[in-house]
Chain A
Amino acid sequence: TQLLEQSPQFLSIQEGENLTVYCNSSSVFSSLQWYRQEPGEGPVLLVTVVTGGEVKKLKRLTFQFGDARKDSSLHITAAQPGDTGLYLCAGPRDTGRRALTFGSGTRLQVQP
């Protein structure tokens, strides 16, 4: 069974601080995705990483895929209150149907 473990589960920081959240697995994934979800809404895709060691930047967000494709990280620089939300990592299930298996998420709160 492919499991994705995210840490930390909760993070409360002040506006302007930097933070990193992690997504780890004992399984190799062909790709990993990061989503952000706000209360009462569906997840919204932020990025897909495909190649081991890949780094992608989305404004103040930097995503990295581990060399062995078993882990990923999301780094946010100078966090803003608008970054508040649930950050989920997800990877394709090994059934070949391209459904996703999700981590349990990191709930981020950025205080103004």
Chain B
Amino acid sequence: DTGVSQNPRHKITKRGQNVTFRCDPISEHNRLYWYRQTLGQGPEFLTYFQNEAQLEKSRLLSDRFSAERPKGSFSTLEIQRTEQGDSAMYLCASKAGEYEAFFGQGTRLTVV
């Protein structure tokens, strides 16, 4: 399968714990995006990488959130000291061209 891969698919964590998600984009795609989607809403942009450089961060990305793409390939999104409001689907997307973004299946986070 050469699509965008996200792991884990589901994560349940206790409030206050740290969690890390991984995204493996399509191999030749140099642009990688993270989005967050809550129930009943469309995805909201979190951050953008071009190769290994993080070029844009949304105001939604609080200090507890950090994202990396160390070698310009896979990316990780870490949430520290999780809160119940962090419960959402976290989506990763990659693209090479001007328009089409390919999304992964997402990681569903539940903070209890």
Contacts and interface: CB of A to CB of B under 8 A. Distances in A.
Interface of A: 4, 31, 33, 35, 40-45, 48, 50, 88, 90, 93, 95, 97-105
Given A40-B108, A42-B91, A102 B44 contact: yes
Contacts of B95: 98
Given A4-B42, A98-B31, A105-B40, 20 more contacts: A33-B100, A35-B103, A40-B108, A41-B106, A42-B106, A45-B100, A48-B100, A50-B99, A88-B42, A93-B45, A99-B48, A99-B56, A100-B35, A100-B45, A102-B42, A102-B44, A104-B40, A104-B42, A105-B41, A105-B42
Contacts of B103: 35, 42-44
Given A42-B104, A42-B105, A101 B45 contact: yes
B33 interface: yes
Contact of A103 (B4, B42, B55, B105): B42
Contacts of A42: 4, 6, 91, 93, 103-106
A93 B42 CA distance: 14
Contacts of B48: 97, 99
A43 B43 CA distance: 9
Question: Chain B contact residues (Cβ within 8 angstroms of A): what range?
Answer: 20 to 34
A93 B111 CA distance: 30
A24 B104 CA distance: 26
Contacts of B6: 42
Q: Dominant SS at the A interface?
A: loop
A99 B33 contact: yes
A42 B40 CA distance: 14
B81 to A, nearest CB: 26
A93 B46 CA distance: 12
B42 A33 contact: no
